[in-house]
Amino acid sequence: MTTVLRDATPDDAALVADFVRKLADYEQLLHEAVATDADFAKALAEGSISVIVAERDGAPVGFALWFKTFSTFTGKPGVYLEDLFVLPEYRKHGIGRMLLRELARRTLSIGATRMEWSVLNWNTPAIEFYRSIGAKAQNEWTKKRLDGAALANLAE
């Protein structure tokens, strides 16, 4: 079996949306996954996001969705990995590592100094996988979110 990585295009929006919904279902957050194919097509066309698709023998089996960030501390760009997902039947075959390795290469190629992402506290398999590649928890930071009514209220 051959695994190939390729960049997604706006024509892959339905595939990206499907992977996002599958990831959300795994994370028990499917009710929050409201993005449409059109949302992903627009984001891909505008360059707001980039997506690497993993294909095994021509069939899509996983993806990494990321975007550029900037560190004011280093004065350099960074990369934020928003989603990493491999279909359950293709896990433990090196595909996740292949996607992360490619993203690490791209991170370095743009002069970025870091790759960051979040993982749910209960997702022990992912935490162990990330630890195995040398990722370190950033426990001194607490992630915050402002959305919905709270975001609207602040904006008024």
Identify whether the C-beta of residue 117 lies closer than 8 Å to the C-beta of residue 81: yes
Name the pTM for this structure.
Answer: 0.92
Tokens of 59: 């069939």
pLDDT above 90 (res 9): yes
Tell me which H or E stretch contains 131.
Answer: helix 124-132
pLDDT in tens, 14-40: 999 999 999 999 999 999 999 999 999
Burial 55-80 (b: 16+ CB within 10 A, else e): bbeeebbbbbbbebeeeeeeeeebbe
What pLDDT does residue 100 have? 97
What pLDDT does residue 142 have? 87
- What structural domains and CATH numbers belong to the chain? 3-155 (3.40.630.30)
Average pLDDT, the chain: 95
Return d(Cα 55, Cα 35) in angstroms, integer.
23
pLDDT above 90 (res 1): no
Q: Which range among 3-7, 21-25, 56-60, 144-148 shows the weakest confidence by mean pLDDT?
A: 144-148
| Residues annotated catalytic, as ranges | 130
Return d(Cα 100, Cα 112) in angstroms, integer.
15
Percent of the chain's residues with pLDDT above 90? 93
Closest alpha carbon to 88 in 115, 43, 118, 125: 125
pLDDT above 90 (res 95): yes
